[in-house]
Amino acid sequence: MNARLPDMTPAARATGFDVERVRADFPILQIEVEGRPLVYLDNAASSQMPQPVMDRLVRYQSTEHANIHRAVYTLSERATTAYEEARRQLQRFINAPDEREVIFTSGTTEAINLVMHGYGRKFIKAGDEIILTTLEHHSNIVPWQMLAEETGAIIRVLPINDAGELCLDEFEPLFNARTKLVGVSHVSNALGSINPIKQMIALAHRHGVPVLVDGAQAVPHLAVDVQDLDCDFYAFSGHKLCGPTGIGVLYGKAELLEKMQPFKGGGDMILSVSFEKTVYNTIPHKFEAGTPPIAAAIGLGAAVDYLSAIGMDSIAQHEHALLQYATGQLGALPGLRLIGTASNKAAVLSFTLDGIHPHDIGTLLNQDGIAVRTGHHCAQPVMTRFKVPATTRASFAFYNRMAEVDALVAGIRSVQKMFA
């Protein structure tokens, strides 16, 4: 899939990115909801799928599907080739040194659980410490609490300031001889804060501590290079990346993956099985027990190629323009409080309106065709930090237009008028 560069508007020519051309690739962006054109602003929850990815899924199911890594017939070889090609597409997308370091999981949650079971249960003991941050999604909190409960390990938490930025000064004092792992999100799902993870990884490594990065909210919005970051683990989901649901990736350094224990037992993760002794397969297959979501992996491969053809830098630039415009427009509304004002932010706007509950806002915006997320965003410690039970969150993608910011502002004004 080539980036669609010709026939650009003058504005687009300046940036090399034409949002209208991109939107034409997304059938769902053409539909109406409640009789109004869909304004989809819940991209942090899940992104939409472009036609080339759907076409790839159809082609796979129509001409290539069989089980993989098993049989000698043509179809199985085609499916295996396509699945392993998807692994290389993902490898290139995050610049992993070795394709064996790309493990397909069901999503970010499973990727983090894989590290908890494969690394944590083997190497983290009673009294050992795990550093997390207030910004983490529940999926990067709960697995570690389960491990702490099981082993007697201790969780320490790096706090955030009033802008929703990590208190970096307080990071190094959290380390001691018992620190075994750091878990940190690259981009906060609730607030959009982009964390200085490269700096944090370097600091953790000076203490000999590996770092797991939850990259679910980062990979769709900025170019990620795991070698440049030098992270030990990097987890993300396909469905936030214009790919299908049920697929995600755990990148891990080969030396760590090799010494980890398997997460799930079953077929494909073994070399030989007898009732006396089972020999596990090599990485990445050691961590991919059972028949994987083959079509979803291939679809995700197509999705990252689609994004790369547009260019992650162009995507980041357009989204930053959306963020700046939306921050100005929403910030000017009386009674609106932006939650999360980090200086380095992805295009996520979490906010509260005086006297109006987020669920009422969400229901009423839906009447205008506007899809936003309302609630605690699976980040209750963040809500607690800002002393709010819930927020309304508008999260943008590269296919959103400036006019959709205007629609959101008009929608909020109309909600405020109703409740006045």
Question: 298 or 370: whose CB is closer to another protein?
Answer: 370
CB of 358 to another protein, least distance (A): 8
Question: 94 or 383: whose CB is closer to another protein?
Answer: 383
CB of 244 to another protein, least distance (A): 24
**13: how many CB neighbours lie within 10 A of its CB?**
12
Q: Which of 61, 261, 282, 363 binds another protein (CB under 8 A)?
A: 363
Cα-atom radius of gyration of the chain, to the nearest Å? Answer: 22
* Whole-angstrom distance, CA of residue 374 vs CA of residue 269: 40
Q: Considering the rule CB under 8 A, would residue 357 count as an interface residue with another protein?
A: yes
Please identify which residue in the block is written with the tokens 């981009």. Answer: 187
Question: 296 or 390: whose CB is closer to another protein?
Answer: 390
Query: Quick one: which segment of 22-30, 44-52, 181-189, 359-367 binds another protein (CB under 8 A)?
Result: 359-367
Q: Considering the rule CB under 8 A, would residue 55 count as an interface residue with another protein?
A: no
CB of 346 to another protein, least distance (A): 24
Please identify which residue in the block is written with the tokens 């991919």. Answer: 288
Q: Which of 123, 280, 386, 419 binds another protein (CB under 8 A)?
A: 419
The closest alpha carbon to 148, from 135, 159, 132, belongs to 132
Sequence-separated (6 or more) residues with CB below 8 Å from residue 200: 166, 168, 171, 182, 184, 211
Q: Report phi then psi at 350, rounded to 5.
A: -100, 135
CB of 411 to another protein, least distance (A): 12
Active site residues: 378
Q: Considering the rule CB under 8 A, would residue 382 count as an interface residue with another protein?
A: no
Spell out a b/e string for 339-366, using b for 16 or more CB atoms within 10 Å of the CB, else e: bbbbeebbbbbbbbbeebebeebbebbb
Distance (Å) of CA 138 to CA 114, 191, 377? 15, 14, 9
CB of 40 to another protein, least distance (A): 17
* Whole-angstrom distance, CA of residue 234 vs CA of residue 252: 7
Question: 63 or 363: whose CB is closer to another protein?
Answer: 363
Give, as ranges, the residues between 385 and 414 that touch another protein (CB under 8 A). Answer: 389-390
Query: Quick one: which segment of 208-216, 289-297, 319-327, 360-368 binds another protein (CB under 8 A)?
Result: 360-368
Give, as ranges, the residues between 189 and 228 that touch another protein (CB under 8 A). Answer: none
Question: 50 or 340: whose CB is closer to another protein?
Answer: 340
The CA angle 232-92-208, to the nearest 5 degrees, is 10
Contacts to another protein by CB under 8 A: 34-35, 356-360, 363-364, 366-367, 374-376, 380, 383, 389-390, 418-419
